[in-house]
Amino acid sequence: MTMNNGAGGRRRPPTIHDVAREAGVSRGTVSRVLNGGHYVSPTAAEAVNAAIRRTGYVVNRHARSLITGRSDSVGFLLTEPQERFFEDPNFNVLLRGCTQALAAHDIPLLLMLAGTEDERRRITRYITAGHVDGVLLVSSHSGDPIATELREAGVPLVACGKPIGIGSKVSYVAADDRDGARDMVRHLLAQGRRRVGVVTGPLDTPGGVERLAGYREVLAEAGVDYDERIVVSGDYSRASGEAGAERLLAQAPDLDAVFVASDLMAQGVLTALHRAGRRVPEDVAVGGFDDSPAATAASPSLTTIRQPWDRISSEMVRVLLAQIGGEDPAAVILPTELVKREST
């Protein structure tokens, strides 16, 4: 179908009227198909979609948003300093997965970084003004008001990881952090290690809390006393893993294994052990968490706990779109997997 504007034969973009004429249906039927297909027969919907393909019609998102009150976009909100986004490979993997999952619905994803109080205030105003239909929230610390403010404003929201301290009415998708930690510590003990230290994640985040809890549970079931001298905390950065390992070695020179709550921190642990003349795994075994690109880039390669990032991102998108469509909040917990490599 060729469409001209009558002035010099210049081609004009196809309109909803062209689609209706091509499909042999009313303009209202085309509009209902474009807005979800409610009250449209399968035959009519198929005819409209075929006409869209033939005409090359492209939805005018601005015009549709004026009618529906929706922006037809979703925010990916990371409440961490900007440098963390570029350092930690998990964020990029999750962002890519969410982008791909939303692309299947022709919905763009807006990246929002809110690592400071001023950034949080600005982004909260932007979101609550209706510029996005919902938010995928990543790395929320307890005491961070942004999740509570968005929930109270009625913004559809799905958190990555179980939120801390904001009640039960926030949707979330999480890997089973506690069970993954249990698998790793059991593996280290099965290797004959008896002095297993830990570098935790931040203890105001769900991953930090749950992975430490799994570590403690396995020590208890093995009859090993909990020793605070071999427990240090990090912030998921490589530098904090390196500093954590130095503290562990100073406080417990007989250490023979370390469970590290992220692969990036584990890279820092390996650096500190190498500098101290400790061989891995001969002298000290090291286990990470995430199975991010940092695990295979490490030397030696890391035994780690695999988080199912593809499923986490697709489930976050599914739950958010359902919530935007009017469904109640939901919680999804996904299993992890122990991946054995050279470091244990």
State the residue for tokens 């091509």.
22
pLDDT tens column, 226-278: 999 999 999 999 999 999 999 999 999 999 999 999 999 999 999 999 999 99
Q: Are the CB atoms for 141 and 80 separated by under 8 Å?
A: no
Assign residue 138 a region (left: φ > 0; alpha: ψ between -120 and 50; beta: otherwise).
beta
Q: What is the pLDDT of residue 198?
A: 98
Q: Answer yes or no: is pLDDT of 2 > 60.
A: no
Q: What is the pLDDT of residue 29?
A: 87
Mean pLDDT of 316-329: 91
pLDDT tens column, 183-197: 999 999 999 999 999
Q: Answer yes or no: is pLDDT of 3 > 70.
A: no
Smallest CA-to-CA distance from 174 within 185, 183, 163 is with: 163
State the residue for tokens 């973009």.
13
| pTM of the predicted structure, to 2 decimals | 0.77
**210 or 325, which is more confident:** 210
What's the Cα-to-Cα distance from 321 to each of 34, 115, 158, 163, rounded to whole Å? 16, 26, 10, 19
Q: What is the pLDDT of residue 38?
A: 66
Percentage of the chain modeled with pLDDT above 70: 90
Residues 6+ apart with CB under 8 A from 125: none
- Report residue 105's pLDDT band, with 50, 70 and 90 as the boundaries: confident
Q: Answer yes or no: is pLDDT of 14 > 90.
A: no
Distance of CA 241 to the CA centre of its chain: 22
Partners of 257 in beta bridges: 196, 285
Mean pLDDT across the chain, nearest whole number?
A: 89
Mean pLDDT of 85-93: 86
CA 64 – CA 66 distance, rounded (Å): 5
Q: Are the CB atoms for 146 and 116 separated by under 8 Å?
A: no
Q: What is the pLDDT of residue 66?
A: 44
Among 243-252, 319-328, 331-340, the least confident range:
319-328
Among 86-90, 153-157, 328-332, the least confident range:
86-90
> Per residue, what are the HEC states of the chain?
CCCECCCCCCECCCCHHHHHHHHCCCHHHHHHHHCCCCCCCHHHHHHHHHHHHHHCCCCCHHHHHHHHCCCCCEEEEECCCHHHHHHCHHHHHHHHHHHHHHHCCCCCEEEEECCCHHHHHHHHHHHHHHHCCCEEEECCCCCCCHHHHHHHCCCCEEEECCCCCCCCCCEEEEECHHHHHHHHHHHHHHCCCCCEEEEECCCCCHHHHHHHHHHHHHHHHCCCCCCHHHEEECCCCHHHHHHHHHHHHHHCCCCCEEEECCHHHHHHHHHHHHHCCCCCCCCCEEECCECCHHHHHCCCCCEEEECCHHHHHHHHHHHHHHHHCCCCCCEEEECCEEECCCCC
Mean pLDDT of 5-20: 69
Distance of CA 317 to the CA centre of its chain: 10
**187 or 139, which is more confident:** 187
- Report residue 162's pLDDT band, with 50, 70 and 90 as the boundaries: confident
Q: What is the pLDDT of residue 167?
A: 60
Smallest CA-to-CA distance from 201 within 271, 129, 133, 141 is with: 141
Percentage of the chain modeled with pLDDT above 90: 62
